[in-house]
Amino acid sequence: MSFEGEKASVQFHEIGLDDRILKAIAKLGWAEPSLIQEKAIPLFLDGKDVLMKARTGSGKTGAFTIPVIQRILSSKEVNPDLQNTQALILAPTKELSSQIHKVMLQLTSKCSRDVRIVDISSQADISAQKPLLVDFPDIVIATPGRAVAHLKAETLNLKDLKMLVIDEADLMFSCGYEEDVKQVLKSLPKIYQAALASATLSADVLNLKKLVLHNAVTLKLQESELAPLKQLTHYKHYSEASEKHAVLYSLLKLGLIRGKSIIFVNTVDKCYRLKLFLDQFKISSCILNSELPAASRCHAVAQFNEGVYDIIIASEESFLDDPSVDSRRNKDKEFGLSRGIDFQHVSNIINYEFPESINSYIHRAGRTARGSNKGFFEENPKDLRTLRHDKKRKAPKTGQHISNVPDYLVPNSLKSVTGLIKIKKAKKKFVPPSTANKKYEVSSSAFQMQNDFILLPKKICTFFGQK
Ligand SMILES: Nc1ncnc2c1ncn2[C@@H]1O[C@H](COP(=O)(O)OP(=O)(O)OP(=O)(O)O)[C@@H](O)[C@H]1O
């Protein structure tokens, strides 16, 4: 597996990595480093502070986790009895932390005894997490909030820290972690090596850079922000707002969209409404939004990744919103939605509601065509079954009850497609024509005009024709 369109000039075995890491990388199927990995890993191994800005899905996680693990293995070669927390990795959400943890466990699968990693980002009680930290794991992964909570409880000791990494640096401040990050920095020794990873170089990232990095090398890769077109195809389809439901239904039911899909909407309400709509047609989906508790969000992503659901409906909200503005709703400030979450094998991204900024489009699109995956279609057994044309396609099942559900769930446009709509004839009151009746005159001429184009039912045409 390699990143398309980005031919690596060095191979993993040429970067000076431990054999155990190389074996783990091979097990992951990563044939060669991505561009950001190729540039960042040697710099970090050299002891440099690095700011890596690379498009979403370009392999930044590997770019900082591989050298962190390598440096820990090297330090243990020199001093096998060394046991202290050498690296702290901060991520803005629990989902991201657990994803980094998962990647690190895979990368240390051949040296798990030598490199111990814990993720303390979950909301478990601080005292319940104490045993995880008591014998100074080599790498701690946390959200800044959790790191501060443990520092206050004196369950986390960073006095011997050698490396600090902040992932998704552009989200840290907008997630409300500015103070927590500053608090963490106060607990670090004077000298440590640091790296920031980000998909954008926002003002927040530059502020963090000033706070965290020293004489840093900035890697701003000259690459497209999105995966190459060979890998990711963009389609656009124009439709009236009221018809979007019908279009989506058709795309899904006719098999025009295959594989796992993320449908993006812009509000939490829409998230639920769309799910209810799809439920009506026995199209099962799960949802992801900022009102769900963290555990449910993780569960939804896990179920989607495991293939329990092929569709996830996600609402995206601006991180720059003042969290205090909408007090009715209990928004989770750690909600990073899908930014940085590694949804696996996503074939399609559907912008059901158009993203509010270019960045948002890029991040949404970055959920597919990740790594070396093609964007549109994945070859998994389930998809291949779908492709079998020797089997008769099942006609979509729609129940009679669809005609009784509210319009916002099944709009009339779709009811008429399925033949379930009962056209209610409006009872018209007879109003005698009167030249003094302005309202009548206006509507009359409007209808007359349409009459010219034979657009009206005969009955009405006749009525106005008599005038
Ligand atoms: N060298 C590689 N070869 C093939 N696949 C890789 C390689 N490195 C990473 N990947 C895969 O690419 C996908 C995206 O990687 P990763 O999550 O690190 O991207 P990212 O740049 O951190 O994205 P984001 O900014 O969204 O977090 C993952 O599924 C990962 O397993």
Query: Helix, strand, coil: what percent of the chain each, to 5?
Result: 40, 10, 50
Which numbered atom of ligand 1 lies nearest the CA of 58?
21
What pLDDT sits at residue 372? 53
Whole-number Å distance, alpha carbon 146 to ligand 1 midpoint, is: 25
Q: Which residues lie with the beta carbon below 6 Å from any ligand 1 atom?
A: 1-3, 30, 33-34, 37, 54, 56-62, 199, 340, 342, 366, 370-372
Of all protein residues, the one whose alpha carbon is nearest to atom 27 of ligand 1 is 340
CA-nearest residue for atom 12, ligand 1, is 371
Q: Is the dihedral of CA 226, 178, 220, 163 positive or negative?
A: negative
pLDDT of residue 402 exceeding 70: no
> What is the Å distance from ligand 1's center to 399 Cα?
43
The 10s digit of each residue's pLDDT in 309-349 is 999 998 864 332 332 333 334 444 444 444 545 677 788 88
Domain shared by 181 and 320, yes or no: no
Structure tokens at 307: 């293939």
pLDDT (tens digit, 9 = 90+) per residue, 263-316?
988 888 888 999 999 998 889 999 888 888 777 877 888 888 888 899 999 886
Least reliable range by pLDDT among 69-78, 97-106, 294-303, 334-343: 334-343
- pLDDT higher than 90, residue 221: no
Contact between 181 and 19 (Cβ < 8 Å): no
Do 338 and 247 reside in the same domain of the chain? yes
Say which residue, 96 or 141, is predicted with more confidence. Answer: 141
At residue 369 the predicted structure's pLDDT band, cuts being 50, 70 and 90, is low
pLDDT in tens, 27-41: 999 999 998 999 999
Which domain-ending residue is among 164, 192, 221?
221
Does 208 share its domain with 264?
Answer: no
Examine the predicted complex and report whether its ipTM is higher than 0.90: yes
Confidence class for position 382, pLDDT limits 50, 70, 90: very low
User: Could you tell me the distance, in angstroms and rounded to a whole number, from the CA of residue 298 to the centre of ligand 1?
Assistant: 19
Say yes or no: 273 and 209 in one domain: no
Distances (CA, A) of 365 to 30, 66, 209, 268: 22, 26, 27, 20
The reply to whether 50 falls in a domain is yes
Higher pLDDT, 413 or 463: 413
Q: Are residues 136 and 248 in the same domain?
A: no
* Per-chain mean pLDDT for the chain: 75
**Which residue's alpha carbon is nearest to atom 5 within ligand 1?**
371
C-alpha closest to that of 362 among 331, 335, 338, 345: 338
- How many structural domains is the chain composed of? 2
From 166, 192, 221, the end of a domain falls on 221
- Do 267 and 315 have their domain in common? yes
Ligand 1: atom nearest CA of 54 is 21
Q: Is residue 437 part of a domain?
A: no
Predicted pLDDT at 304: 86
Q: Which atom of ligand 1 is nearest to the CA of 99?
A: 17
Residue 26 within a domain: yes
Ligand 1, atom 6, lies closest to the CA of: 371
CA-nearest residue, atom 8 of ligand 1: 59
Burial class (CB in 10 A: 0-12, 13-18, 19+), 222: exposed
pLDDT at 147: 96
Q: Which of 32, 106, 370 to mutate to test the pocket of ligand 1 (most atoms within 8 A of CB)?
A: 370
Residue nearest to atom 2 of ligand 1 (CA): 30
Domain that holds residue 203: 2-221
Tell me, in angstroms, the distance from the centre of ligand 1 to residue 56's CA: 8
Quick one: pLDDT band at residue 466, thresholds 50, 70, 90? very low
Q: Do residues 134 and 24 both lie within one domain? A: yes
Instruction: Give pLDDT, residue 357.
Output: 75
Query: Is 231's pLDDT higher than 60?
Result: yes
Whether 15 maps to a domain, the answer reads yes
Least confident of 48-62, 282-296, 447-461: 447-461
- Nearest alpha-carbon partner for 311 in 257, 260, 246: 260
Q: Which two tokens stand for residue 287?
A: 């949802």
Distance 153 CA to ligand 1 centre (A): 34
Whether 410 maps to a domain, the answer reads no
Q: Has residue 427 been placed in a domain?
A: no
Residue 141 lies inside a defined structural domain of this protein: yes
State the pLDDT at residue 441. Answer: 34
Distance CA 41, CA 64 (A): 7
Statement to judge: residues 214 and 252 lie in one domain: no
Ligand 1 centroid to 66 CA: how many Å? 12
Mutate which of 50, 93, 342 to test ligand 1's pocket (most atoms within 8 Å of Cβ)? 342
Query: Residue 249 domain-assigned?
Result: yes
Instruction: Tell me: do 191 and 325 sit in the same domain.
Output: no
Q: What is the pLDDT of residue 462?
A: 24
Q: Which of 387, 411, 441 is the last residue of a domain?
A: 387
Residue listed under structure tokens 């707002």: 241
Same-domain status, 245 and 213: no
Cα 439 to ligand 1 centroid, rounded to whole Å: 64
135 and 266 belong to one structural domain: no
| CATH code assigned at 116 | 3.40.50.300
Residue 463 has pLDDT above 60, yes or no: no
Please indicate, yes or no, whether residues 72 and 209 belong to a single structural domain of this protein. Answer: yes
- Using one digit for the tens of pLDDT, what is the confidence trace for 135-179? 899 999 999 999 999 999 999 999 999 999 999 998 888 778 999
Residue 100 — pLDDT band, cuts 50, 70, 90? very high
| Half-sphere CA count of 128, side-chain side, radius 13 A | 8
